[in-house]
Every structure is written in structure tokens, then in C-alpha cells.
Amino acid sequence: MKILVTGAAGFIGMQVAARLLARGDQVVGIDNLNDYYDPALKRARLEQLRPHANFSFEQLGIEDTAAMAAVFAREQPQRVVNLAAQVGVRHSVRAPQSSAASNLQGFVNILEGCRAVRVEHLVYASSSSVYGANAKLPYVEDAGVDHPVSLYAATKRANELMAHTYSHLYGIPTTGGRFFTVYGPWGRPDMALFKFTRAILEDQPIELYNEGRMIRDFTYVDDVVEAVIRLLDKPATPDAHFDRLNPDPVTGDAPFRVFNVGGGQPHPLLEVVDTLERILGRKARRVLLPMQPGDVLATGASPRRLHDWIGTAPETPVEEGLRRFVAWYLAYREAGGRV
């Protein structure tokens, strides 16, 4: 198939594109290569894809309406994986306009492109942040998501609602994945485990918000990629049991689905830091700080619906995932990569 992958130079996007190329699909990648974090890492990810004859790339932002319309018209993708976004909960608090441009206008452009060329399926990244102030764990997909605590979370919930609208109006199959704290090789330098690894190796302090008393459902990137590929291969369908008098918020009588993409094994952050110290053979210099705006105390996924739909759910143990990440980090740095 010909598949459009947005955010192809991103952490998850690059690895999804690589999997699609490895099985013989044609991948059209786009990314704006912005400087939210060092673009050198994004370019290094792209270098993993460029040797493939079936890979093409164009640098642009999904918020560029004319450019996106041109890409869809020219490439006529059969399916789309939208992983482009202005990421960062705290960034959305500091710079709401950039989050809105990419995550709202950009997503409209994706949906309009899908409508114009009648794509077979759109899979897109939502986020566990949509659960916001909901403190009932584990998070199940039909739980309340009406109290976001950051603009980033609000944009991701808006994406789900926008996708349902296009599924309802135009019959476009759409599937959203609520990703839970993804980590692993080629990860994002703004994410906690990446920052902690760098700081510990450089004998710099690590910052632990809410004095480290946070719980996260850490999800290894290979498991996320596997889920995205399997979701892509199983287009959303209408729910035969959908009841308009008691509507399920993540299915419908349109071809629309939303799933948690997390393993359902949350860990206290301080325990994960202990594990990272053991792997690195060094102690961290811990700085305990107050809670930050937009953060939540704990996340934890119920993976039941995902497993029922695609036959698997994330399961890589955190210690094993951290060992693989540290091995990649050390090798990448030894090879001269900037991290």
C-alpha cells in the first residue's frame, strides 16, 4: 500500500515508517523538523529511512493547508498514520498558539485530505493526557475525559471528536490511539527518562516534579509501533451494538474507534529512577520540585479493548525496555550523535 506517515522524523513516526517499509509498503513521510528539540536527532532518524527505495520525504508542517492539500492530491495515499503534533504538556501551557496550530488546524487538514482522496483508514495519535483530572485508575476508554488539565490534552480530545465527525459525515474509518508515556530507542530528549539518562551520565541533577511522587504507565516504543501497525491493518467499523440512548464515547454507528495504547502496569517514578541507576551503575543527584501546571499524578491504562481488537497489547517490562534504551543511547552517543 501507499501510506502517508506524518511526523516521520519523530520518535514513533520513524519507527512506524521503518516497519511499513520493511514489509514492502510505500511510505510518504512528512515532518516540519522544527526545533522543539534538537533537529539533528530528527535528521538522524530520517537517515534510517532514506536508503529505502519506497520512501519519500517532504519537509512541511501539517498546519500548512495548501501544502497538505497538494500532498494528498499528488500522492493519493490509501491509508494515513498521523503522528505529527506539537507535543509537550508543559509546552502547551507556555506556547498555546503553536499547539493549536499543529494539533487543531493541522488535524483538520489531515481529515480534509482523507476526505478528498477517500482514504481507506486514518490512524492517529491521541494521548493518555485526555483523561486529565479523572483520577479513577485504570483508565478505561469510556471513562470521563471532560476535564483536561492542559491545552495539549484538550487538543488531543478535540482530535477524537473531529475524527468522529468525519467518520459520521463521510464514512472515513478513523482509529485513535491514546498513547501512554512512550519511551525507548530514538526517543524524545524532552521526555523524562531520556533527560534522566543524560543527566545521570553527565553528573547533572535530575528534576523530579511533585517530589517524584508520580506514577506512569511507561510503554515501550516497539509495543506502540506494533499496536499502530495492527490498528492500521484493521480499519475501524461501526459498532453493531451502539446504543444512541446510552452511547459509548469511543465507538459509534460510524466507522470510529479509540483505544488505550498502554500496558496497564503503572510504576512509581522513583522506582523507575532506581532501576535506571542500577542499569547505568551511577546514582542520580535528585532535585525535588513541586507539581507543574498541566501534570497529573498518575496514569494507568486498561488495555482490554485494544487486546480484544488486535490480539495484543503492550507488555515489555520496564526494566527490559530501559536496558534497550540505555544501550541505544550509549551507542548513539559513542557514534557521535548529539543527545
Helix (H), strand (E), coil (C) string for the chain: CEEEEECCCCHHHHHHHHHHHHCCCEEEEEECCCCCCCHHHHHHHHHHHCCCCCEEEEECCCCCHHHHHHHHHHHCCCEEEECCCCCCHHHHHHCHHHHHHHHHHHHHHHHHHHHHHCCCEEEEEEEHHHHCCCCCCCECCCCCCCCCCCHHHHHHHHHHHHHHHHHHHHCCCEEEEEECCEECCCCCCCCHHHHHHHHHHCCCEEEEEHHHCCEECCEEHHHHHHHHHHHHCCCCCCCCCCCCCCCCCCCCCCCEEEEEECCCCCEEHHHHHHHHHHHHCCCCEEEEECCCCCCCCECCECCHHHHHHHCCCCCCCHHHHHHHHHHHHHHHHHCCCCC
Note the pLDDT tens digit of each residue in 66-93: 999 999 999 999 999 999 998 888 788 8
- State residue 13 phi and psi, 5-degree precision: -60, -45
CATH of 2-334, one of 3.40.50.720, 3.90.650.10, 4.10.80.400, 3.20.170.30: 3.40.50.720
Annotated active-site positions, please?
152
Q: Please calculate the CA angle 51-102-20 and round it to the nearest 5 degrees.
A: 30
Listed by start position, the domains of the chain span: 2-334
Q: What is the pLDDT along the chain (339 residues), one digit of tens a residue?
A: 999 999 999 999 999 999 999 999 999 999 999 999 999 999 999 999 999 999 999 999 999 999 999 999 999 999 999 999 988 887 888 888 989 999 999 999 999 999 999 999 999 999 999 999 999 999 999 999 999 999 999 999 999 999 999 999 999 999 999 999 999 999 999 999 999 999 999 999 999 999 999 999 999 999 999 999 999 999 999 999 999 999 999 999 999 999 999 999 999 999 999 999 999 999 999 999 999 888 899 999 999 999 999 999 999 999 999 999 999 999 999 998 878
Q: In what order do the strands lie in the sheet with 26-31?
A: 55-59, 26-31, 2-6, 79-82, 121-127, 174-179, 256-261
* pTM exceeds 0.85 for this model: yes
- Measured between alpha carbons, how far is residue 1 from residues 10, 119, 166, 338 in Å? 21, 11, 22, 34
Q: Do 109 and 82 touch, CB atoms closer than 8 A? A: no
